[in-house]
Structure 1
Amino acid sequence: MSLRPLFITQVYEASLADGRGWPEFNEQLIDVIRMMAEEDAAGRHWCKANAYRGYTSYGSLNDLPQRFPEFAELKRHLDRHAVAYAKALNFDLARKPRLDNLWVNILKPGGGHTGHIHPHAFLSGTVYIDIPDGASSLKLEDPRLPFMMARPSVTEEASEAERPFVYLKAQAGTVLMWESWLRHEVPTNLAKADRISISFNYA
């Protein structure tokens, strides 16, 4: 008897913290993000209107690599990882993945982000900037859940690949990427400090 794993979902994980100058670069990113949270009135208005507990530039700024040299440098790193991920997935692409949008997230204690996908992109991800103790992990959902009908739950011995939900814990510098159709969420931030990350889409 043998089992053949089929239709595998591959999630990409790497770290910017392995590179030279990461602590200084990370501090620069934090400074820029904090400045944005103070000065981006349109972003704060979007957060209030959409009950986002914290700050995100998702609804206000769509040109961060052009606005700030720190984000231009981050884009160069992410471009390299997107190419590596697409190659690992054996995608037959006519051109290199292109960064479509990129936004910052400051999730305050008690805040979360409900389950969602990223339409109009094929690769999505997050790079983590400041993850305090107790901050929520990224929660990924098995895309087959709506079709499982009477499927039993799995035992405690089941591997990560067999579970209906997987929680990926990150630290500062972690880069996680996944195919944009993969449903995911950020559970409630139980830390006593802000959880800071930068999310992005490639089209």
Structure 2
Amino acid sequence: MAQIESLFVTRFYRAMLSEYGTAINNDELVVSCYSIAEDDEAGQEWCENEGYPGYTSYASLTDLPWRFPIFADMVAALDKHVAAFAEDLEFNLEDKKLVLEDIWINILPEGGLHTSHLHPHSVISGTTYVSLPDGAGALKLEDPRSGRMMAAPARKQGARRDMQAFIYMKPEIGEVFLWESWLRHEVPMNMAEDERISVSFNYKWE
């Protein structure tokens, strides 16, 4: 009898940020994100020059946990989530560990989007969600084999979840998503009138 099994599984982690560490006041986090965005002239300039919709601190600020204690609390919780995910992935970290490489704010206005990309120099990447108005959309994940399926037919409508070419993960406020950094992903267009706020991050092995 023929045997079929799934190989090379892509893992995805989701949990409430508050599962580890002190509960973070989300209203305070929203205020902190807007305060940083307002004061970050270098980040505003980068967004304007690059045609980035809304605001991101990715190219301008590297010290959010130092600037605002609430981000230090966030990182303390993220460290534990990442450690739990690394355990599930069965990484052999040897005498090293996964440490925060960078963390940044994203404020996406109506009509804004973040096109498909990956984070090639990191091990684990992720996002935690601060403000999600109705219509803000989900995180879109792409089957990492897509670029090698040059002659393959499309999947059937209603195909099993593990066979679909794209998966949409709809987050909740206060939730954290983690994935391996090679996984291509994108943020679809924000169809809401209000801004979508998230905090993204990368972890490296050292």
TM range (shorter): over 0.9
Q: 2:143 aligns to what?
A: 142
**Is 2:21–2:73's contact at 8 Å kept on the other side of the alignment?**
no
Structure 1 segments of 4+ aligned residues over 6 angstroms from their partners: none
**Counterpart amino acid of residue 90 in structure 1:** E
Residue 40 of structure 1 and its aligned partner are, at CA, apart by 0.6
1:70 aligns with 70
Q: Give the Cα–Cα distance (whole angstroms) in 1 for the partners of residues 15 and 150 of structure 2.
A: 35
Instruction: Determine if contact 1:137/1:187 at 8 Å carries over to the other structure.
Output: yes
Alpha-carbon distance, 1:157 to partner: 2.9
> What is the aligned partner in structure 1 of residue 8 from structure 2?
7
**2:61 is aligned with 1:61:** yes
| Greater displacement, 84-93 / 149-158 | 149-158
What stretches of structure 2 of length at least 5 have no aligned partner? none
How far off its partner does 1:10 sit?
0.3
Deviations 1:152-187 (A, max 9, x none): 112223122110111110110111010001111111
2:105 aligned residue: 104
Percent identity between matched residues is: 48
Q: Are the equivalent residues in 1 in contact too, given 2:18–2:77 (CA < 8 A)?
A: no
Q: Check conservation: 2:21, 2:76, Cα contact below 8 A.
A: no
CA distance in 2, matches of 1:53, 1:125: 20
User: How do 1:124-203 and structure 2 match up within 5 A?
Assistant: 124-203=125-204
Q: Aligned partners of 2:19, 2:82: CA distance in 1, in Å?
A: 17
Aligned residues: 202
- Quickly say closer, same or farther: Cα 1:20–1:12, change in 2 above 3 A: closer
Distance 2:182 2:103 in 1: 17
5 Å-filtered alignment, 1:25-64, equals: 25-64=25-64
C-alpha RMSD of matched pairs (Å): 1.4
Report the TM-score, using the length of structure 2 for normalisation. 0.94
CA contact 1:123–1:201 (8 Å) conserved in 2: yes
Unaligned runs of 5+ in 1: none
Task: Provide the residue aligned with 1:121 in structure 2.
Answer: 122
1:21 Cα deviation from its structure 2 partner: 6.9
For 1:21 and 1:102, how far apart are their aligned partners in 2? 19
1:10-56 CA distance string (max 9 Å, x none): 0111112567974x611111110010111111110011011111111
Residues 17 and 172, structure 1, Cα contact 8 Å, conserved in 2 = no
Partner SS for 1:115: strand
Aligned counterparts of 1:72 and 1:163: Cα–Cα separation in 2: 37
CA distance in 1, matches of 2:20, 2:177: 16
